[in-house]
Amino acid sequence: MQKDSVLEMRGIYKSFYSVKALQDVDFTLREGEIHALMGENGAGKSTLIKVLTGVYEKDAGEVFLKGAEGAVHIKSPEDAQNAGISTVYQEITLCPNLTVAENMYIGRTKGFVTNWRQMNAGARKMLESLGIPARAEQQLGTCSIAVQQMVAIARAVDMECKVLILDEPTSSLDESEVAKLFRLMLDLKSRGVGIIFVTHFLDQVYEVCDRITVLRDGKLVGEYAIENLPRVELVSKMLGKELNDLSDIKSGDEEAHIGSEVIYEAEGLSSSAARHPFDFSIHKGEVNGFTGLLGSGRSECVRAIFGADKVTGGKVRVNGKDVRISKPRDAMKHRIGYLPEDRKRDGIVGDLSVRDNIILALQVLDGFFHPISRAKAEKAADEYIKLLEIKTASSDTPIKSLSGGNQQKVILARWLLTDPQYLILDEPTRGIDIGTKIEIQKLVLQLAEKGKSVTFISSEIDEMLRTCSRLVVMRDGKTVGELRGADLTQNKIMSTIAGGGK
Amino acid sequence: MMKKVALNRRTGRLSQMTDTNLLLTITIVVFFAMYLAAMLFIGRGFLRVQTFLNILNENAALIILSCGMSLVMITGGIDISVGKLTALVCMSAAVNLDYNGGSILTSILIALGIGLAFGIVQGYLVAYLDIQPFIVTLGGMFFAKGMTTIVNATQFNVQNEAFVALKNTRIYLPVGSVNRLGKFVPAYVEIGVVVAIVTVIVLFILLRWTKLGRSLYAVGGNSQSANMLGINVRRTKFIAHLLCGLLAGIGGYVYFLHVGSGAPSHASGAEMNAIASSIIGGTMLTGGVGNIIGTFFGVLSLSTIKNIVALLGLDDAWWTNITVAAMICIFLVVQSAVLLRKKDRN
Amino acid sequence: MTAETLKKTGSAGWMGLFRNQIFIPIAALLVLVIFNLIADPSFFQISYSLNSNGDPVLSGYLITILDNASELAILAIGMTLVTAASGGQDISVGATIAIAGSVVLRVLCGDNPRPDEMQASILTAFLVCCVVSMLFGAFNGALVAFLNIQPMIATLILYTAGRSIAAWINNNRLPIISDPSFGYFGTFLPGVPIPTPIFIALICMVIIALTLKFTTLGLYTQAVGINPNSAKLNGINPQMIKFITYVIMGLCVAVAGFIKVTRFSTINYSVVALDIEMDAILAVALGGNALSGGRFSMASSILGAYVIQFLTTTLFKFNVSSSALPAYKAVVVIALVVLSAPAVRAKMGKLWRSLQASKLKKEAA
């Protein structure tokens, strides 16, 4: 073990059934450094972390920790905590039925008895110092997702740890919260804690990290000091190929194929989630976007269009005819498709096969008494697996065993199969590797060329700029501006989101 | 503006309450309202202290069984073996006392041993082999049911003198009522009630102030998260089932002490009564929400309503069951409505 | 469903069968068959004998198994759907069978508990019984689907009250039907040597097979059971699907209840179909279906029902008294469930692999 390292992993192997998730991976974390762990989806980052924290048992390899003689054996998250490794996982892993304070302290206090007063006081202090808007006695389930994520972070950093692992902690945080997190990380770093940081946001990597380890297909690509690895090289290392210029995607004439007829038009639409009535319309062949900070109501708006929440008012016209869309099935009948924001919760049907997942929406449209024959379903599934290059063993494989990006493609296939005239894509590229991201963006533009209307929502503004010809900007549940043409620049969007607007 | 703030604060307090406390409050309020109504409109027996204490005497065993059930339900599991287990404990203890020349001590040890054995086996299967608790305890229930008749197939009353003396022991309280002759009759409870109340207090402390107690809630809330938070989920589930089994042993003996006989038909349906009491007491089968005090009041509510039905003269056998079912129904609907509304507000 | 599974197993060969869900009940059945073959091959004898009406009928343990498992197999159909869609079980089926039976007798007897002739046609009685049972199913379904109450708890209500309601329907009297034509459905049709309940169960199986083939019920229930959010966003109404499965369960209960009363031409409210809900749930579990809902195999569940009856009959044959029966059954069932538990399977697989690895090493040395 090297002198200044706090953690060394050597020759780690891990496979799930026949899939080799990690092969001979080495990883070194030094004292007082922030170390980015990068790779596409399915590269093995999360698996490596879960091996380290004892969620998975490794097949082979050794782990060394500073202060411990020889290789350490971490068999459960409990062991990891005792060894000084604290973790914030990608998905929030707290208990919604316990209070905020309990979530911060449970599983890491010594002794048999719970001292509520001491615990609540400690939690209050921590919440205050991090500026988290929650009370210590509050039930965690009643907090917003962002607050829950901050609580998880607070818990992790409060532990006396040598190694802090942050597995995509920023995906549900807004900018000010991310800034808070970064200050915290730098503070811990100065105290000698080694931090492993996993994220999809390249900006964040270059803002705080000292060193980068890149994984690809379960194998180690290399370890680099941040100053020796410019962005373009990082991306090409992650993808394993030179990246064609991203800006090539947009041809510049996307407005050319926008037809004159209005496909969908809503007036004063509101739902139980989107409380402020809003107007919206989209033309044939148009790609528009909703933008705004997290919680600005952009997802709620498109859910209202699709009838996913209880619609409380408003007039809707599809193809110029007055219609009523009060539930998803109504929207589907008018050939509207919706790819939900939370793939795992709202999108996939985990235990069902890829084939069943693909035909699901079409099947519902066909009706209860007209099941799609197996032959037809197989044909459709195979066609889209090929078309979208979905990586799956067969169409019989349960969708849950696919990687995130491939799951997303299956959901896309589901809606493409219904041949929609208007497709709503809510964060289709979140948590997906860069290669697939670009494929999806290209697909959106192709759809528009074919005369389909698309609403595209993304947290990454440059992605929206690349695909959309019109952006609806939202703040606090209200539409605050609509940008098109020359106004579609980073700066203009930012300033509209931030304040003023019209 | 002022009005709006005040309103927010009031609804705020309701939504700030944890689910556990909210359901507990509902249960306690309903019990007292019901008992008060019975005192006002039915009068008679309900005005006497002894009536209330008799509810305790009759249901001491059920209180203990329900406590065990609540523990398991808080972890998100269920144990449907406790009723038949009670019958097995009664029969084994009875046979030990009268046929095998056992003493009170040996019969108690047998009761605890049986309960512990069931708890360990069922806990192991549920926690370490990941078999669904319903199926495991269904097996346990069948096994206990069959074993009871294998131990002894017919009902008999225990004659052992020491035991009969213990069974008839009454603990007199300084309260009581004046009978028709003007004589003061002190109220009493049986030994089982003391055991039950000690159990409730111990378990309340366990759940509220110990690490293990909070782990039970965490495991029930989200077992995956609990694991990631460094809680040993398997061990926690195992302990919950173990405790439930042990409590079934204790409860079984208390039942035995109350009836003084062994019979295969003893405590039939007790598992469902225990589940019903837990639910009325605000424990949710989905796990993570519940309270032992609530369970205690759940048992009281359930048996009070039975008493009220009996006193109203609706003696036909079916009325009790139908009323109990209706009561569970109402409680369920109220609970789900409250929780749903609360969720909506957030 | 069966055809599909067979096709699948055929193409994937033996390994496919091993991994297939239906392997579990088949293996259990094989174990029981082999056990009986060794212990006493006469178990499998089927003979011709005269029944009480003087008609020649088939008799033997196998016939008894097929006959007595009919109600269980029918209930397993409903239980599988309920489990798949709502992730919970209906524990009220025993009690609602009592209601169903009581309704049949009430319609046939009217106010007189010992009528000389039936007051209505058997078909009318059966239809009324179906409607009533479906209403009770709808009650359970409404609690589960629309009020979001856990199935076991929601059905606890009718579990508690069902037998009392059944007694109340007939004013707590025990009607007896003397007309022999009523008994045909529970025993033998004149001139047919095979018990009628076997045919009724077969008809139910055919109906459910056709339903699964010609509607999307299977896909919908599985989608709802696995991920209701996702199902909703794809235009399925999860509440309605859950509700429907409980109504179907009600229909299954009606048929099972009808068979039960026709077997004896009378009813005992507190004993009829006692604990049958437990057997029905066991059948679903034995079929390898997750009790937490989601994917299901109807064929496996139904086979599971017959395995349970096979076990019961085997135990009876070995002179296990009916009251001690549950203990033996429990041991066998737990053993089966433990052996089929994924955790145990994984461990055994590991053991097997390491055994083979050491064997290879030895050979190399």
Of the candidates A169, A220, A228, the one whose C-alpha atom is nearest the C-alpha of residue A44 is: A220
**End-to-end alpha-carbon separation of chain B, Å?**
21
Average pLDDT taken over every residue of chain B: 86
In terms of domains, do A257 and A181 share one?
no
Residues of B in contact with A78 (CB under 8 A): 230-232
Q: Which of A99, A106, A139 sits opposite B231 (nearest CB)?
A: A106
Give the Å distances, CA to CA, from C365 to C12, C353, C355, C357, C360. 36, 18, 15, 12, 9
Q: Residue B145 and residue C143: Cβ atoms within 8 Å?
A: no
Does a structural domain hold residue A316?
yes
Does a structural domain hold residue C104?
yes
Amino acid letter, residue B17: M
Tally B–C CB contacts below 8 A. 134
Q: Which of B78, B141, B325 sits opposite C161 (nearest CB)?
A: B325
In terms of domains, do A104 and A222 share one?
yes
Domain range spanning residue A125? 5-244
Q: Which residue of B has its CA nearest to A138?
A: B16
In terms of domains, do A13 and A138 share one?
yes
Count the helix, strand and coil residues of chain C and give each as a percent rounded to the nearest 5: 70, 0, 25
The residue-averaged pLDDT of B186-199 equals 92
Classify burial at A243, counting beta carbons within 10 Å of its beta carbon; exposed 0-12, middle 13-18, buried 19 or more. middle
User: Measured between CA atoms, how close is B40 to chain C, in angstroms?
Assistant: 28
For residue A126, what are its two tokens? 């921590």
Does a structural domain hold residue A341?
no
Q: Which residue of C has its CA nearest to B287?
A: C150
CB neighbour list of residue C28: distance below 8 Å, 6 or more residues apart: C286, C307, C336
Number of domains chain A contains = 3
Q: Which of A346, A365, A370 sits opposite C229 (nearest CB)?
A: A346
Residue C229 and residue A360 in contact, taking contact as beta carbons nearer than 8 Å: no
Q: At what angle do helices C298-317 and C325-340 cross, to 10 degrees?
A: 140
Domain end point (choices A244, A268, A287):
A244
Amino acid letter, residue C355: L
Q: Residue A352 and residue C233: Cβ atoms within 8 Å?
A: no
Q: Residue A98 and residue B15: Cβ atoms within 8 Å?
A: no
The residue-averaged pLDDT of A70-88 equals 87
Most confident of A102-111, A154-163, A301-310: A301-310
In terms of domains, do A13 and A144 share one?
yes
User: Measured between CA atoms, how close is C325 to chain B, in angstroms?
Assistant: 6
Q: Which residue of A has its CA nearest to B342?
A: A142
Segment holding A165, helix H or strand E: strand A163-167
Tally A–C CB contacts below 8 A. 76
Q: What is the pLDDT of residue B2?
A: 41
Q: What is the pLDDT of residue B309?
A: 83
Query: Cα(A267)–Cα(A492) distance, rounded to whole angstroms?
Result: 26
Q: Residue B272 and residue C281: Cβ atoms within 8 Å?
A: no
Q: Can you give the pTM of this predicted structure?
A: 0.81
Residues of A in contact with B202 (CB under 8 A): none
Domain end point (choices A209, A225, A244):
A244
In terms of domains, do A109 and A152 share one?
yes
Does a structural domain hold residue A195?
yes
User: Quick check: C13 pLDDT over 70?
Assistant: no
In terms of domains, do A305 and A182 share one?
no
User: Quick check: C151 pLDDT over 70?
Assistant: yes
pLDDT in tens, C213-247: 999 999 999 999 999 999 999 999 999 999 999 99
Residue A140 and residue A151 in contact, taking contact as beta carbons nearer than 8 Å: yes
Q: What CATH number has the domain bearing residue C57?
A: 1.10.3470
Does a structural domain hold residue A164?
yes
Query: Which of A299, A335, A364 is the best residue to mutate to test the C interface, defined by the most C CB atoms within 10 Å of its own CB?
Result: A364
Query: Cα(C157)–Cα(A348) distance, rounded to whole angstroms?
Result: 34
Domains of chain B with bracketed CATH? 20-41+54-336 (1.10.3470)
Residue B157 and residue C359 in contact, taking contact as beta carbons nearer than 8 Å: no
Domain end point (choices A364, A397, A419):
A419
Decide which of A474 and C1 is more confident: A474
Q: How would you classify residue A289: left for phi > 0, otherwise alpha for psi between -120 and 50, otherwise beta?
A: beta
User: Quick check: C5 pLDDT over 50?
Assistant: no
Query: Cα(B334)–Cα(B332) distance, rounded to whole angstroms?
Result: 5
Q: What is the pLDDT of residue B62?
A: 96
Classify burial at C314, counting beta carbons within 10 Å of its beta carbon; exposed 0-12, middle 13-18, buried 19 or more. buried
Does a structural domain hold residue A10?
yes
In terms of domains, do A157 and A25 share one?
yes
- Tell me, what's the ipTM? 0.82
Does a structural domain hold residue C312?
yes
B111 C-beta neighbours (distance < 10 Å), count: 28
Is C332 part of the contact surface with chain B (CB cutoff 8 Å)? no
Domain range spanning residue C258? 2-319
Classify burial at A292, counting beta carbons within 10 Å of its beta carbon; exposed 0-12, middle 13-18, buried 19 or more. buried
Cα B134–chain centre separation? 18
Query: Cα(A448)–Cα(A287) distance, rounded to whole angstroms?
Result: 7
pLDDT in tens, C302-352: 999 999 999 989 988 888 888 888 888 888 778 877 877 777 877 877 788
In terms of domains, do A432 and A407 share one?
no
Number of domains chain C contains = 1
Computed from CA positions of residues A394, A398, A404, A408, in that sequence, does the dihedral angle turn out positive or negative?
A: positive
Q: What CATH number has the domain bearing residue A479?
A: 3.40.50.300
In terms of domains, do A279 and A218 share one?
no
Residues of A in contact with C217 (CB under 8 A): 368
Is B289 part of the contact surface with chain A (CB cutoff 8 Å)? yes
User: Quick check: A66 pLDDT over 50?
Assistant: yes
Q: Which residue of B has its CA nearest to A88?
A: B228
pLDDT in tens, A388-438: 888 888 888 889 888 778 888 999 999 999 999 999 999 888 767 777 888
Q: Residue C234 and residue A348: Cβ atoms within 8 Å?
A: no
User: Quick check: C18 pLDDT over 80?
Assistant: no
Query: Cα(B109)–Cα(B102) distance, rounded to whole angstroms?
Result: 10
Q: Which residue of C has its CA nearest to A332?
A: C235
User: Quick check: A110 pLDDT over 80?
Assistant: no
Query: Cα(A497)–Cα(A295) distance, rounded to whole angstroms?
Result: 12
Give the pLDDT band (50/70/90) at residue B192: very high
